[in-house]
Each structure stands twice: as C-alpha cells, then as structure tokens.
Amino acid sequence: MNTRLQHVCNIIPRKLDGLKILDCGIGFGEMAFRLRTHYRFRGTPFIVGLDLHESYVLLHSTLGLYDKVYNCSVIDIPYAENFFDIVLALELIEHLSKEDGLKMLNEVERVSRGQVIITTPHGFTATRERGGNPHMEHISGWHPKDFTDRGYSVRLIDPRMMTRSTRLVDNVRRAALQIRRIPKTILAVKKSERNQSYEGILRVDDLVPIIDK
C-alpha cells in the first residue's frame, strides 16, 4: 500500500458495518479492494463507485467490489443530500478544470453527512493520456489553501516519508504516468457541517493537523 492510501485508511473508521461510502473516480478499484480486504477494517459497507471512463465501470459491474457503479460525472452525483457517510475523491480533482473542480467539491460536500476525503498532487503536475483513457490528463493544480478556505483539514504527505518498498511502487506509478518528479500529496478532510455530532465518523481534527501553506 502506498503512503497516500496508508494515510487515507488511517482516517476511515475501523468498523464499516452500516456505512455508506462513495468512491469517486474508481479507476481499477484499489480503494474499494482495501475496504473489502484490509485487516484494519471490519464489517460490510455499502460502496458506490463513479467513473467517467466506461471501461472501468463495465469492469467493476462484474467484480463485486462495488455494490453499485455509475458511468457519470462527479459534478452531477445521482444521490440525495447527506446520503453518504464517507465520500472519497482520491487523485481525481486534478483531472478537472478549476471550475469543474470547484463544482466537484460542492457535489461531494452535498452528498456527505460525514467525511469528505480528497487527495491530489500539491501544485500542477503534467501527465499524458494513457491506457486508452482520455480522462487521465492532469488539467489543474491545487494547493492547501484551496481546501482550508473551505473548512478542510489538510496534511501534506512528503514522498521522502515513504518506506523503501513504497518508494519502489511509487516510482513505477510515476513512470507509468510519465511524471518526472514526485510531488507532495495534499490530503484534505472535511467533516460535514450539517451533522457535527455524527458518531459513526472519527474526529478529523484529532487526526489531520491543518497546514496553512
């Protein structure tokens, strides 16, 4: 597991029974696989996946990692307000324009009654289309202030914190994406203002210190 996913898993509650989780930009389903199989987690959550790339949606419609999958945009999520306990948007917002990225933030916050968890490279990192997926290119760059201004707690994950094995995995990923340098990762977490007393979600302020940069 790479450093980014380690930090994400540390924020998610251990007991998943009864939780509704939305995974935006499912890709190959790595996060859903972790939620279903990682020793840290107990219980069976209801997991919904969204992706614009039809091939990913067709793949996961048969694998069983997701209870439901949708071929749709994250700026138009087909669920009511406050439906999900946890909304994940990992390495996604940088694939949208700045305008659509802000619309995405509005949508994931709208459907969350618990936590929104976002990861993205710190600043703009150029990538190219690959694997026949036209949505793989990075279009925008994001900074901690983009999230702290909206009430998120933010941590910067430094690639130098990686273990030797994790660094090897990240080097392979970076080569596949044709990224020359390893950027820091922004981990942004927001607890829904509409349900501050929600007991199914851990307190973010105890886990993710705000870095104002």
Does 178 map to a domain? yes
* pTM for the full predicted model: 0.82
C-alpha distances (whole Å) from 211 to each of 44, 87, 109, 144, 149 are 34, 22, 21, 7, 12
Q: Which domain covers residue 158, as residue numbers?
A: 3-194
In the block, which residue shows the tokens 């389903």?
29
Does 212 map to a domain? no
Tens-binned pLDDT, residue by residue, of the chain (213 aa): 677 888 899 889 899 999 999 999 999 899 999 999 998 899 999 999 999 988 889 989 989 999 999 999 999 999 999 999 999 999 999 999 999 999 999 999 999 999 999 999 999 887 766 566 676 789 999 999 999 999 999 999 887 665 555 566 666 656 665 555 667 899 999 987 655 444 444 444 444 444 433
Residues 6+ apart with CB under 8 A from 63: 29
Number of structural domains found in the chain: 1
Does 204 map to a domain? no
C-alpha distances (whole Å) from 158 to each of 3, 122, 161, 163, 166 are 9, 10, 6, 11, 12
